[in-house]
């Protein structure tokens, strides 16, 4: 199966409202980035990577919210419930490897390896939390998936790890 068929089979058709929302977000993002570029706040490389990151975030929202059909409103507020299930299943005949993989992918999902400028870890954690919380809130409000505190923790952690990695890489490049 080629990439086009995979994308077509993975994503159901978006409604007109969803498509309009994506177009509006892209237009606003381009306008803001253009203004930052013209005021010399960012360079062309940072602008390019910001555009890639925006497209990536739209893909994340598309795959975690818009690709799902509306269902019941589901909320999981217990912290680290998924890790408890994984650990409890280790001594059984059917360990929860899929849940473990999902947790790891949730950490990796928001690795912000695209900005190209040092970001304080507190700011990075706040950005990761806000992005993740908005995904989970949209899932809750639109009844498309489960609002899950663990996902917020994993995504925020992933964003924080990405910030630390980028800051170390930028520091190493500055030294050399």
pLDDT in tens, 116-136: 567 788 888 888 899 889 989
Q: Annotate 136-154 with b (16+ C-beta within 10 A) or e (fewer).
A: bebbbeeebbbbbbbbbbb
Q: Is the pLDDT of residue 114 over 70?
A: no
- The larger pLDDT score, comparing residue 96 to residue 176, is at 96
pLDDT in tens, 39-63: 998 888 888 878 887 887 787 777 7
Band (pLDDT 50/70/90 cuts) for residue 149 is very high
- The larger pLDDT score, comparing residue 19 to residue 14, is at 19
Name the token pair of 86: 């994984």
The Cα-based distances of 165 to 70, 108, 113 in angstroms read: 37, 12, 8
| Proportion of the chain above pLDDT 70, given as a percent | 84
Distance CA 108, CA 77 (A): 21
Model's pTM, two decimal places? Answer: 0.69
Helices (H), 1-117: 3-10, 16-38, 44-61, 81-89, 97-109
pLDDT for the residue 1: 44
Q: Annotate 94-126 with b (16+ C-beta within 10 A) or e (fewer).
A: eebeebbeebeebbebbbbebbbeebeeeebbe
């Amino acid at each position: 199966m080629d990439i086009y068929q995979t994308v077509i089979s993975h994503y159901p058709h978006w409604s007109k409202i969803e498509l309009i929302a994506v177009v509006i977000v892209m237009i606003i993002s381009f306008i803001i980035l253009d203004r930052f570029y013209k005021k010399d706040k960012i360079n062309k490389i940072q602008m390019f990577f910001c555009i890639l990151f925006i497209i990536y975030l739209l893909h994340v929202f598309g795959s975690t919210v818009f690709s799902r059909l509306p269902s019941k409103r589901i909320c999981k507020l217990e912290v680290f419930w998924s890790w408890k299930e994984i650990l409890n299943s280790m001594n059984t005949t059917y360990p929860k490897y899929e849940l473990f993989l999902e947790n790891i992918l949730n950490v990796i999902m928001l690795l912000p390896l695209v900005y190209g400028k040092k970001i304080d870890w507190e700011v990075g954690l706040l950005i990761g939390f806000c992005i993740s919380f908005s995904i989970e809130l949209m899932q809750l409000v639109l009844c498309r998936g489960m609002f899950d505190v663990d996902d917020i923790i994993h995504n925020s952690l992933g964003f924080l790890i990405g910030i630390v990695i980028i800051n170390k890489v930028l520091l190493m490049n500055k030294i050399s």
